[in-house]
Amino acid sequence: MGLRVVKRAYRYRLYPTPDQAAQLASTFGCVRYVYNRALAERHRAWFQEQRRVTHAETDKMLTGWKRESGTEWLAEPSKGPLQATLRNLQTAYVNFWEKRSGYPKFKKKGKTVDAATYFRNCFSYRNGQITLAKQDQPLTIVWSRPLPNGAVPSQVTVSRNSRGQYHISILVEETIATLPTSPGRVGVDAGITSLITLSTGEKMSNPRHEKQDRARLARAQRELARKEKGSANRAKARLKVAQIHGRIADRRRDHLHKLSTRIIRENQTVVIEDLTVRNMARNRSLARAISDAGWRDLRTMLEYKAGWYGRKVIAIDRWYPSSKTCSSCGTLVESLPLNIREWACRSCGTVHDRDVNAAKNILAAGLAVSACGDGVRPPRS
């Protein structure tokens, strides 16, 4: 068992005073404006001059915008969140250039989560209380769990979601003890009827969080559609819809955290498929169920928890025929429609559960890749 120093974010509910809420609203607006204007400048420079604008240049532009007539209000909030949003834009471009994401998009009020990041010189942390720059009172935070002993926050991010809830994410350096080496090795097959199936034969049921609230959500959406645009009643109806979506997301996230933690604790090596959830969700018949399953979030949790605790996650090629290959003799069947959940191999006669067989093949392919490095795509960074 060793020790690892990792950067870890702790997220808490935040209840700002009316003055703090007004100041945060102003900061969120300035952050959105700076991001959009910097994106517009970089977009114009490339398409009109074929010139790339660097992060340093946008930083200089920000200084000029604060002095311009009509945008002097950019000097009112702390400089940290405005500089942070320029860094985020640079990261978005880097991800686009390296083909990890699409082209950066403009932020629209009410369509994106309001957030502001404060660096170490833009907030104070004393006696377990955090005070943001240009605010007189410390924030009222619900400490649902304590920060690690001796941890000093390096940056904090304040956000407001569509439900009007405020959260604060506190980034600290933490020393985590890696888990003892485990003999467990498992393949994971993602599904809809069963959320995941393990190569051990165990199936984890799909809670279908969205289906539990589907009737309530539909009713709230119908009420929203009847309200006049721009009215106060429409704003109230929109809030009800957001609250239902939020409860669904909270339950899903909690379930995936518990599931991913269990898998990482019990297994030294975890093998998964490199699924393209976005493309799979284009199937109109399965889009709702696929989105509700949260496969992408589960993979993300498995990968970063494996990094924390000294485990290994291997992602095999999405085109590997795990379901159509016999895990006993390796025979590949020509076709296997989705409605066939159990099948018998013509060569060896073994009767397979479709999902368990796929999980066994996923594990075998992952271990082969781990040994010789062939036939699999590397995990996402």
Active site residues: 189, 273, 355
The long-range contacts involving 148-155, CB below 8 angstroms and separated by at least 24 positions, are 148/172, 148/174, 148/175, 152/125, 153/120, 153/123, 153/125, 154/7, 154/119, 154/120, 155/117, 155/118, 155/119, 155/120
Q: Is the four-CA dihedral 83, 88, 93, 95 of positive or negative sign?
A: positive
Rounded Cα distance, 162 and 244, in Å:
11
Q: Are strands 269-273 and 312-316 parallel, antiparallel or unpaired?
A: parallel
Query: Is there a contact between 283 and 326 (Cβ–Cβ < 8 Å)?
Result: no
How many CB atoms are closer than 10 A to CB 181?
A: 10
At CA 48, angle to CA 88 and CA 63, rounded to 5? 45
Sheet containing strand 203-205, edge to edge, reads: 203-205, 194-198, 185-190, 269-273, 312-316
Sheet containing strand 166-177, edge to edge, reads: 114-119, 155-160, 166-177, 3-14, 141-142
Among residues 237, 31, 229, 16, the alpha carbon closest in space to that of 141 is found at: 16
**From residue 123, how far is each of 15, 253, 310 by CA, in Å?**
17, 29, 33
Rounded Cα distance, 174 and 180, in Å:
19
How many CB atoms are closer than 10 A to CB 352?
A: 21
Q: How is residue 345 annotated by DSSP?
A: -
Query: Is there a contact between 337 and 293 (Cβ–Cβ < 8 Å)?
Result: no
